[in-house]
C-alpha cells in the first residue's frame, strides 16, 4: 500500500507521482501555531516498486515576530494549501553568515499565499489567497517570513535525497500543502522506511 499521506493527497484530488525516484513532497500542516515545529514534511518515492518514506518535523507558518512586524505591505505570507506544481528547485537561501547563503529548496516562481496583516500573533488563514508570494523556500532555521523551516540535519538530508531524484526527473519539484482542516488528527513524525505495495495511480508519471 502507498503511504497514508499519499492516499490523503489523492483523496483530495492532488496528483501522486509514481516511478523510480519520482518525488512526492508534502507539507502536512497540523496546526496554525507560530513558533513551534509541529508540522510534518514528507518525502515519498518508489524504488523498484517499493515505497520509501521520510518524515521530518517542520514549521509551515511564520514566527510570531514576523506576524507582528510584516515586511510586505500586504501582510506576512503563509503558503496556501493545495498542490503547487513545478514550484521549487534546489538552490540557496540567504543567510546572515560568512557565506551569506545556505543550501535549501527554493521557490522557482511566485506562489499563492494567505496574507496576515493585522499584526497580532494569530495566523489568519481563512482569507482569500494572493498570487504574489515570492521567496517561499524550504530551509533550516526558525524565524520565517513565510518559508517552511526545518532543522539543519533535515535540510542536509532533504537536499541530498532530492539531488538523487532530480538527476532522473529534472530540476523542478512540486510541493503539496495539506491544511489541518483536511488531514484529520495529528500523527507521529518519528521513523522512516519503505513500504511495499502497488502504486496509487496508473499511467505515465509526471511532475505537475
Please count the structural domains in the chain: 1
CA-closest candidate to residue 109, choices 91, 130, 88: 88
- CA-CA distances (angstroms) from residue 157 to 83, 153, 188? 23, 6, 19
Residue 206 belongs to a domain:
no
Residue 38 belongs to a domain:
yes
Q: 178 - beta bridge partners?
A: 28
pLDDT of residue 203: 33
Taking only the tens place, the pLDDT of each residue in 143-198 is: 788 899 999 999 999 999 999 999 899 999 999 999 998 765 444 333 333 323 33
Residue 202 belongs to a domain:
no
Query: What is the value of pTM for the model shown?
Result: 0.86
Residue 78 belongs to a domain:
yes
Residue 59 belongs to a domain:
yes
Residue 36 belongs to a domain:
yes
Residue 208 belongs to a domain:
no
Give the range of the structural domain holding residue 19, as residue numbers without chain letter: 4-196
Q: Which strands sit side by side in the sheet containing 101-107, from one edge to the other?
A: 148-150, 138-140, 101-107, 82-94, 173-178, 24-28, 39-47, 50-58, 193-196
Amino acid at each position: 500500500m502507498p503511504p497514508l499521506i499519499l492516499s490523503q493527497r489523492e483523496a483530495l484530488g492532488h496528483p501522486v507521482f509514481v516511478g523510480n525516484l519520482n518525488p512526492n513532497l508534502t507539507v502536512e500542516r497540523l496546526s496554525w501555531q507560530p513558533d513551534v515545529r509541529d508540522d510534518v514534511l514528507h518525502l515519498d518515492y518508489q524504488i523498484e516498486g517499493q515505497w520509501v518514506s521520510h518524515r521530518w518535523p517542520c514549521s509551515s507558518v511564520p514566527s510570531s515576530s514576523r506576524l507582528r512586524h510584516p515586511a510586505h505591505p500586504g501582510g506576512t505570507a503563509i503558503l496556501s494549501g493545495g498542490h503547487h506544481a513545478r514550484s521549487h528547485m534546489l538552490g540557496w537561501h540567504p543567510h546572515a553568515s560568512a557565506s551569506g547563503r545556505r543550501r535549501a529548496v527554493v521557490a522557482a516562481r511566485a506562489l499563492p499565499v494567505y496574507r496576515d496583516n493585522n499584526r497580532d500573533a494569530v495566523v489568519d488563514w481563512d482569507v482569500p489567497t494572493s498570487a504574489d508570494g515570492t521567496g517561499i523556500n524550504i530551509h533550516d532555521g526558525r524565524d520565517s517570513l513565510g518559508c517552511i523551516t526545518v532543522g539543519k540535519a533535515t535540510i542536509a538530508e532533504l537536499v541530498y535525497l532530492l539531488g538523487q531524484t532530480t538527476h532522473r526527473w529534472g530540476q523542478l519539484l512540486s510541493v503539496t500543502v495539506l491544511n489541518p482542516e483536511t488531514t484529520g488528527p495529528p500523527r507521529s513524525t518519528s521513523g522512516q522506511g519503505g513500504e511495499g505495495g502497488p502504486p496509487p495511480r496508473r499511467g505515465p508519471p509526471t511532475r505537475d
